[in-house]
Structure 1
Amino acid sequence: MKSVLVIDAPPMMREFLTEKLTAENVIVEIADGQRDALPKFLSVLPDLVIINVEHSVSDILDFLDKKQSDPNGKKIPVIMSGPVIDHDEVSDLVQYGVIKYFTRPIRYDLFFDSVGRVLHTSFSVDTTPCVLDMHLNKDIIFIEIAKGLNREKITLLKYKLAEIIESNNLLLPKLILMMSDLSLSYVDGLNLELLLENITADRRILRRNIKILSFDTFVSDFIEGHPIYDGIKVVQNLSDVMASLVDTTADSIENLISDKILALSDGNGKNADAVRFYSDTHTAYGSPETSEGLLKIAVIDSDMSVVKYLKSVLETIAEVTVFMTPKEFVSSVQPGSFDFAITGMVMPEITGLDILRFLVEKHIDLPVIVYSNVIQKEVIMQALKLGAGSYLINPQPAQVIVQKVLEIINARKQ
């Protein structure tokens, strides 16, 4: 049997790799730290070494030097993951048998393709477009799933949930699964079953503390038809979700929705985490390009201060065209005119909802983010129903806006 030595992987990555490799009859050995790594490496002499670097490549150089000095170990290939490093550093790693360096967050489809080439094993990796975000606010874990159900991300979700619960000492965590963007059918049944299995795997998450926001009848019928999901409630109203899980001491349900769902990021990423697939050359922001060149984004808002702010933020990743009146945008937009759009909600004559309806009616496939200070739940849910990729409450830090744009763009590329 083939064997792999995994060194210094964080818990989520370690558990995910172990599950994935074991399913293909690959023996997995785990090592924490260089002192543990070298003895295990020499005793096992695995077919592949997978190393995660937390801070700097220099942290693992001592192990790599000793590996190369061993006549039996120097030919064993290494795959590494870690922070962004420059091209020269990647080139220097070749002398140690490093055949691939993946920048975090890892794109696992490419990662397992590389592992499979070394082990002469074909790994099945689900590439279904999917956006999966997780946020923690007090004892409530919010999970947002859009675009589709991806089995790899759903599997990672199980480990990430356990990590969040343990690191924050949550005794009775509550979970809100937001799936308002998804429309499923019986062919998605196995993936939905896997999702529910993974979010209920941790015994600390009681079924009565799980609420699912979905407008899809298949989801509600699927859950109501399975006794093992007894206690899980599917709702179509954000107020119902919050009223059942949160002590309503705030001024209103609308404030609760804004505070606990729509404004989860603190600007430093403190309360936000994600399960995502990006390319292995992804940088913090990057400059995504289309086949015609630099990404083109339309910004639509009648508020000059909002327009100036969004333009300055988005010019770091794209060519930005500003429309101070929504009529101007509607009269000029055509299929392929733009790759992305960000619109306000309250504008003269034409609202953000009108823009979304127009795009649907004209069959213009354009991803849109609504950026507005309107927090009424009816407006928010209507925007999502009309195809908005996300609804961001104004104001938001620059990194939150850019991250959300790149996230949606990357999901559509997969």
Structure 2
Amino acid sequence: MVNSIDMQRLSAIILKNNQIDPSFFSRYDVKRGLRNNDGTGVLVGLTQIGDVHGYIVDEKEKVPVEGRLRYRGIDVADLVNGFQRERRFGYEETVYLLLFGQLPNEAELEEFKTVLGSRRLLPDGFTEDMILTAPSSNIMNKLARSVLASYSYDDNAEDSSIENVLRQAVCLIARFPVFVSYGFQAKQHYHANKTLFIHSPDPKLGTAENLLRLIRPDAKYTKLEAELLDLALVLHAEHGGGNNSAFTIHVVSSSDTDTYSAVAAAVGSLKGAKHGGANIKVREMIEDFKANVGDWKDEEEISTYIEKIVRKEAYDKSGLVYGMGHAVYTYSDPRAVLLKEKARILAQEKGLLEEFELYHMIERLSPAVIGRLKGVDKVICANVDFYSGFVYAMLGIPQDLYTPIFAVARIAGWCAHRIEEIINGGRIMRPAYKHIRTVQREYLPLHERV
């Protein structure tokens, strides 16, 4: 039926009947995007999990400060420096901190890692029936399907007690890298006609090492590669309750639905280009720079090309310099700072320092160009997406996996927020929408309609 009707005409009708006068949003003081007019977020909840700090408000004005990110009160920079100083991987320790609200001691950490390792294997028949059957061209969609399918393999799927939700959370955290890796291998085989590689996860390895092992045909990786991916996972594990996917977890969980439905909804949120897909846009933009800028060390030539992008004359004509700017951070995004330091080391090892310096140059020059052309004095910094795509590219990770890897990290924060909502929520979230059609319309009999 859809193919036999005029979709272009119907689309025009839909556009006409759904457009709202932009002035109405100001007239009724609508908080579009749940943001106030000064750019601050509308306060809709409280959390003890992640603290994102990028400015202070002084006499009703935003004052920029250096960015700070805390997990359960611990500065993420201190967390990273702590486990890296001891030459350890840190993602599993970070998951423990987010879920339980405190750092594990040595015995608790080893026990938790053992539990995660024991739960990485998928249930019998899951890989064949739920992943290799009907493979998806988009791994995030396959991930969401794998999460929803997990409901069918859970004998106690609906129980929302904290003990049961914690069990479900640990299983999902353990299996996310496997869901993603097998979904990627299925796409490579069925959509790109490549050899299918299905490695079993190693229960003795952590999340970063297993992920590299599962996505690579030879299952090999270097210690530095695993350390860098581990760092990326730690930095993406949580970002407060106000980001779109964490808020989705709160909203959906408030309806008293099951864990799998709530997490699948968060996956759908993260898939969006304005959220988890932003690092792909950065990577594509940099490739455009490389193709159109002759001298990567010429500040004037790079500034000129940034101007073209801002004026909507280059790249995707959006006017956006992807990876620059953040809803909260002003002077700096601490995640970008930490990732950049490690990225420089790997770039030197892989002979990619020249490209790293191109990133650095664009990061340094963009704020002034954007401010001058847009006539704003807003403080702008590089966000974590600016360097994460470069890191994944250096690790030989295809773009198809950039956002799924984000999900592998963020499942920890999502599960922590779901538990927090169950304990403290109690009311279904239901914001208001004002109906603005004031003229009542009469129902016309079918034969009188034009």
Give the TM interval when normalised to the shorter protein: under 0.3
TM-score normalised to the size of structure 1? 0.25
TM-score normalised to the size of structure 2? 0.24
Q: Give the number of the structure whose residues are more often helix, by fraction.
A: 2
Q: Give the number of the structure whose residues are more often strand, by fraction.
A: 1
